[in-house]
Amino acid sequence: MECPHLSSSVCIAPDSAKFPNGSPSSWCCSVCRSNKSPWVCLTCSSVHCGRYVNGHAKKHYEDAQIPLTNHKKSEKQEKAQHTVCMDCSSYSTYCYRCDDFVVNDTKLGLVQKVREHLQNLENSAFTADRHRKRKLLENSSLNSKLLKVNGSTTAICATGLRNLGNTCFMNAILQSLSNIEQFCCYFKELPAVELRNGKTAGRRTYHTRSQGDNNVSLVEEFRKTLCALWQGSQTAFSPESLFYVVWKIMPNFRGYQQQDAHEFMRYLLDHLHLELQGGFNGISRSSILQENSTLSASNKCCINGASTVVTAIFGGILQNEVNCLICGTESRKFDPFLDLSLDIPSQFRNKRSKNQENGPVCSLRDCLRSFTDLEELDETELYMCHKCKKKQKSTKKFWIQKLPKVLCLHLKRFHWTAYLRNKVDTYVEFPLRGLDMKCYLLEPENSGPENCLYDLAAVVVHHGSGQAEDLEFPGGLLAKDLVLSLLWLGFAPWPGSFVMPGAR
């Protein structure tokens, strides 16, 4: 948002000597001495921890408020508000009076200058630390051996994502996508924007927020988020810069309201595909391929032509057959898809639990069968027959012509009757391994059995009963979690052995 308080709140010099020494991302809170989520006040340069640690940055702002006896504030009083602060890790700026992140700057560009100064401090600390470690290795007789702890190499710890305010819908999808190995590896192997531009070779890279609103790159911020999740150097990562880019290019997700995770995943994949398809930050696809020699041949072909890694991994093809019941004319259409949205069959919609009623339990295969069964279109969906020259009764059937490498299935949990929308709480069973999709294929005889089997990789569960509901990513993949499931994500086998990644 455009903050009106910057001119009166940003008072420190960009190269202020009041800044602590060392890496800004590891600065300690002046109250509790925690080095987690440090924020620097842009009025007095004091450092405090964020609201998800002990909240001393917000308390610093609250303590600085001056009781006013009249409605008009003096310039001195306005400056004493300590309203604006900057995240020492992501360099995002936040205003406590607006209670929102800030995207604008002062007329003199002081916010950007402070950001660049903190980046320089971080780079200097990083270079010094790397030089120190190199010296230690040179002086050590074990410099040619892997450092081991208790006889085994140090394990990388799983990294979580901080909730920025009703952003669990985004975090759940990011964690799920980070478990898709080939998809994740492709983005992690991409060179950073600064390295592609040849401006800061050999230096650490940071968020595209500092490069101006016109140059934001979803691919770059997505790459950095995946790298942070897999580095294991911190217990939690704050994806503010990615969220900022989402705001810029996906207006539907602006603000801190609760959002639909499935809708976000579709927008995210679509925009990643478009950005990769046309090159990003002004870089052509050919230059990306030339500069990134580490990409495998299979990944390179994903961004040639109209295809990208998104469509190569998630893309499938549906065949839609419509038959006129009057003249028998058949119409066929091929539709690409990144996921399939499945209705819960009507005979199961009133079964809220596994043991509530006698009879069979709804399974994922029932939903898939309902999706691909021959269906007679009702009066509101009459087909325009080009032979009869008018709308006629007809039948419709879906076939899957091509299965994707990673199959995303979305269970529709709402059912419309007249003008009312009802939540469908039906219990649905699904396999953890070996979901066989062969019987839904147009030409199953041309697909080997091993190419039609999927193993479960991730589940995003939708809790609540309203339109704007909380979304959570479960720690375990239990059948009971699918009672309110939103997204089902599976793997098709890749060449070589396959190991199902665990939930984060």
- Residue 105 clears pLDDT 80, i.e. is over it: yes
Highest mean pLDDT among 31-40, 263-272, 454-463, 487-496: 263-272
Residue whose tokens read 């007679």 = 376
Q: Is the pLDDT confidence value at 272 over 90?
A: yes
Task: Write down the pLDDT at residue 496.
Answer: 27
pLDDT band at 56 (very low <50, low <70, confident <90, very high): very high
C-alpha radius of gyration, the chain, whole number:
27
What is the enclosing helix (H) or strand (E) of 38?
Answer: strand 38-41
With contact defined as beta carbons under 8 Å apart, do 473 and 460 qualify?
yes
Contacts by 207-212, CB closer than 8 A, 24 or more apart: 207/90, 207/91, 207/92, 207/241, 207/244, 208/241, 208/245, 208/281, 209/90, 209/91, 209/92, 209/241, 209/244, 209/245, 210/91, 210/112, 210/115, 210/116, 210/119
| Pairwise pLDDT comparison (83 vs 134), residue with the higher score | 83
Mean pLDDT (whole number) for 395-422: 83
- According to CATH, what is the number of the domain 6-114? 3.30.40.10
For CATH 3.30.40.10, list the domain ranges present in the chain.
6-114
**Whole-number pLDDT of residue 233:** 66
More confident residue, 89 or 281: 89
Helices and strands in the chain, H and E counts: 14, 23
Closest listed residue to residue 196, CA positions, set 177, 228, 219: 219
Q: Where are the alpha helices (DSSP H) in 49-145?
A: 56-63, 75-79, 110-138
- Report yes or no: 41 and 57 within 8 Å, Cβ to Cβ: yes
Is pLDDT larger for residue 134 or for residue 281? 134
Neighbour-count burial of 305, counting CB atoms closer than 10 A to its CB (0-12 exposed, 13-18 middle, 19+ buried): exposed
The CATH number of the domain covering residues in 315-491: 3.90.70.10
What average pLDDT score do residues 64-89 get? 64
Residue 123 predicted with pLDDT over 90: no
Q: Which of 62-76, 254-268, 488-502 has the lowest mean pLDDT?
A: 488-502
Q: Please say if the pLDDT value at position 321 is more than 50.
A: yes
- Positions of CATH 3.90.70.10 in the chain: 315-491
